[in-house]
Structure 1
């Protein structure tokens, strides 16, 4: 049996097309003009919160290790305390800029809602 140069091996299946199965992928549109729509205040608040969170996690984790492994209570304690303050600042930035700040008194309606009375009766009709 003679092989054709175009056909390749006679028992080989045709080339598989991966695009023939599954849904079509959406095409990418150009969003280059929308990248700069972030105002300066939000930009600064976001990056200050990111940097404070990174420092806070670093300080809260490395500070106690300095105290425990090296016995350096001054630097370890200072690092831990400033890390806690940085995490508090991050939380403050988050609550101020998300618009979801929950102030005391917001749940007043749910706390004062009328609760059903429990008179000891059960809803089961069949008694043993």
Structure 2
């Protein structure tokens, strides 16, 4: 038997060619992909929030970041370095920043009308 006679009738000439890698549409059993209408997102504008509110928000973000950093660093100085005085001072500085941030948050909430309770 020759090589051509040993082939199956539906066997491609070159199994690795890109044309032969596509599935046969008749044998594709996967379900159809659903179509979804995606709405357009709203156009954000810088005029959506008052300027004072935006400035107050970023100040509060900075204050609470410093507070969290100091609250985490203080105990690490005590535990890993054994520096109780500096670690305690940094920790209480974090507590003070946290309290200051909370007071500023309450003041901003009263100023910009965030009473949704």
Tell whether the structures are fold-level matches, with TM greater than 0.5: yes
Runs of 4 or more above 3 Å deviation: 14-17
User: What are the ranges of 5 or more consecutive residues in structure 2 without an aligned counterpart?
Assistant: 1-8, 12-18
Q: TM-score, normalization: structure 1?
A: 0.57
* Match in the other structure for 2:78: 67
Alpha-carbon separation, structure 2, partners of 1:92 and 1:50 = 13
Alpha-carbon separation, structure 2, partners of 1:13 and 1:57 = 56
1:10, distance to aligned residue in structure 2 (A): 6.5
Q: TM-score, normalization: structure 2?
A: 0.61
Instruction: Kindly report the root-mean-square deviation, in angstroms, between the aligned alpha carbons of the 2 structures.
Output: 3.0
State how many pairs are aligned: 95
Query: For each residue in 1:32-83, what CA deviation from the matched residue of structure 2 results, as whole angstroms up to 9, or x when unmatched?
Result: 4x23332222112111111111111111121012012212123212211110
Structure with more helix by fraction = 2
* Match in the other structure for 2:99: 88
